[in-house]
Amino acid sequence: MKRWLIISLVFNAILIISISVFAFIYRDKIMQRFVQFKGNPAIIMYGNSITAQGKWTALLDRTDVLNGGLPGMTTYHFLQLLQTHVIDLHPKICFVKGGINDIIVGVSQAKMQGFYKAILDKLLASNIIPVVTLTVYEQNDPISKTEVDLLNQFLIKYCEEHRLTYIDLNRFISDSTGLKAEFAVDKTHLNEKAYEIWAREIKSVLKEKGI
């Protein structure tokens, strides 16, 4: 009897540890399910795979933030899905980041900027606060960097004209050649150190806006 009691205790301990480890590893996915189930998130992160790969509930230490990242998508797709993925959810604020996929596939600046403007215009018309995260450089790609600069110049001008906040990650994680290797997992995507910096800047914006 004593032996079976010990075996039972050991088994339960292993089970509890396994569940705890599973919950820790997948805590952001679990929290995202909770946010989706609860509905009406106060904050939506909207963008491509760089946004999608962020563990935002953990990074921001909040349970009212929804990861609306769309891997592989361009600004055209963001505009087409904006109503269902952001506006219909009635968030207070939406952090928008995109453009690099457009640049990779050769979308013109005129089209890219037009789609971005339409996204921001629709958010404003829906009484949702847009915050732009400027497009981050790729590593060691002068042609891409030139296109990113042109897009970011447009975004900065738009934000200044409409008194919107923007976040410039490049000043923290890039240099004259582009995205620094210490903040990258590949040519385009960010590592945990970069996400921590991004989260710090987002928290500052949220504090400033009282959200």
- Residue 21 scores a pLDDT above 50: no
Q: Which amino acid is at 192?
A: E
The more confident residue out of 33 and 18 is: 33
Cα dihedral sign for 166, 169, 172, 178?
Answer: negative
The confidence score (pLDDT) of residue 17 equals 45
As a whole number of angstroms, the distance between CA 192 and CA 18 comes to 25
Which stretches of 26-74 are DSSP H helices? 27-38, 49-52, 56-60
Q: How far apart are CA 48 and CA 70, in angstroms?
A: 5
Residue of 57, 46, 47 whose CA lies nearest to 188 = 47
- Residue 59: both structure tokens together: 């990074």
Structure tokens at 19: 């569940």
Asked whether residue 40 carries a pLDDT value surpassing 90, the answer given is no
Mean pLDDT in residue range 158-178: 97
Greatest mean pLDDT among 10-24, 33-47, 53-67 lies in: 53-67
Inter-CA distances, 9 with 4, 12, 15, 95, 137, Å: 9, 5, 10, 48, 53
pLDDT reading at 22 higher than 60: no
Determine contact, residues 115/150, Cβ cutoff 8 Å: no
pLDDT tens-digit map of 61-116: 998 999 999 999 999 999 999 999 999 999 999 999 999 999 999 999 999 999 99
33 pLDDT band (50/70/90 cuts)?
low
Q: How confident is the model at residue 7 (pLDDT cuts 50, 70, 90)?
A: low
At residue 47, the pLDDT reads 96
- Write down the pLDDT at residue 48: 96
pLDDT of residue 94: 98
Report whether 157 contacts 198 (CB < 8 A): no
H-helix segments, the chain? 2-25, 27-38, 49-52, 56-60, 75-85, 100-105, 109-125, 142-161, 170-173, 192-209
30, pLDDT greater than 60: no
> Confidence band (pLDDT; 50, 70, 90) for 20?
very low
State yes or no: pLDDT of 200 exceeds 90. Answer: yes
For residue 82, which of 110, 121, 39, 53 has the smallest C-alpha distance?
Answer: 121
Are 47 and 78 within 8 A, CB to CB? yes
